[in-house]
Amino acid sequence: MPYISKITDSVCFPETTSIAKEEMENPLFDITEEEIGKNASYCKVLINKILNLPYALLPDFFSHHCNLISDQIKWLNKLEKLISENEELFASTTNRGRMMKCYTIIESKRKEIEFSGYKHTVANLPMQYVNAECEKRYFSFKETKNRVDELQDYTQKIMFLTKEKFDYEQASIDFINPKLPDYSNQCQKEIDQIQHLNRLTNEFSIEQMNKNKNGMPFNKLKINCNINQLVDIFYQLHRELFTNGKPIIDGNINDFVAVIVNSFTDKDGRELSPETVKTMLTPSKSDKRPKPHKRIDIDKML
């Protein structure tokens, strides 16, 4: 069937189902961001997909795009209107049957969504990032990972991930995104990684302490500022301030983590989390270090 270069009329979609080219997995169904510019281009690509796909694949096409959107009902309504506005493109007998089939699929899909109690506006992110959903909530590992990165304490991270894993396993799931890994497995892998890094950091710290066991005994120093302000001082001395082309304090990130967690406690006397300190020392995690007005500027003191 020939490609339609111009459609009769377009419809304004508040949310499109286009994806980045590198994320494309199904060339028959997917619409890439490179293919569309303005809303009219998106409408044209949709119409061409509908006109050229085999009959048997049309239901899967609609389901595929519904899985990429947060408000599925609204998207289906807009698609129905788009087809209606361009009925003359379905003028032939064969295409008129295709148009009626699309209307039937859309109506069936709407009823399926409404019957399942699907909450279209629950998720505040595109459906492509939602792993699964039940009647009460949705499960998005993308959001969960962001939340874990915000937590400062190792125990809090493990407790939060474990609760998410159990909540998912005990929920009556209505929808599972087939393009994303199992939510429970992702939570478990994140738990394993955090525990592994924590164990390695602790082992490294013990090893360093054993090497220095003949050194002077000392008690850990208590810091009364924010933890990230103290860690940022070490970051500046290692990453930003130099003497003769070399960092003022040199060493690898594990050395810095070991020195900080073995030398300081927070203002309440609690141990510092190696994982948290390591995150703050990572160059790409600038959001975990102090804002400019809260930073202790070492350069001014030298």
Q: Residues 142-176, buried b or exposed e (16+ Cβ, 10 A)?
A: ebbeeebeebbebeebbebbeebbebbeebeeebe
pLDDT at 116: 55
For residues 267-278, average pLDDT: 89
One domain for residues 26 and 59: yes
pLDDT digits (tens, 9 = 90+) for 5-16: 788 888 888 888
Domain end call among 209, 237, 269: 209
One domain for residues 33 and 110: yes
Domain end call among 187, 209, 231: 209
pLDDT at 180: 92
Q: Per the domain annotation, does 49 fall within a domain?
A: yes
For residues 199-222, average pLDDT: 72
pLDDT at 120: 40
pLDDT at 214: 61
pLDDT digits (tens, 9 = 90+) for 234-256: 999 999 888 888 889 998 888 89
Radius of gyration for the alpha carbons in the chain, expressed in angstroms and rounded = 27
Binned at pLDDT 50, 70 and 90, residue 213 comes out as: low
Number of structural domains found in the chain: 3
Q: Per the domain annotation, does 11 fall within a domain?
A: no
For the record, the structure tokens of 63 come out as: 């389901």
Binned at pLDDT 50, 70 and 90, residue 193 comes out as: very high
pLDDT at 175: 87
pLDDT digits (tens, 9 = 90+) for 124-156: 677 788 999 887 788 999 999 988 988 878 888
One domain for residues 194 and 245: no
CA end-to-end span of the chain:
73
pLDDT at 227: 93
Binned at pLDDT 50, 70 and 90, residue 185 comes out as: very high
pLDDT at 62: 92
One domain for residues 89 and 139: no
pLDDT at 33: 83
pLDDT at 212: 61
Q: Which residue's entry shows tokens 């390591």? A: 278
Q: Tell me which of 27 and 216 has the higher pLDDT.
A: 27
CB-CB contact of 118 with 109 (8 Å)? no
pLDDT at 119: 45
pLDDT at 216: 66
Domain end call among 209, 242, 268: 209
Does residue 93 register a pLDDT over 70?
A: no
Instruction: Residue 33: give the domain boundaries.
Output: 21-115
One domain for residues 199 and 145: yes
**Sign of torsion over alpha carbons 259, 193, 160, 129:** positive
One domain for residues 109 and 26: yes
pTM, two decimals, is: 0.41
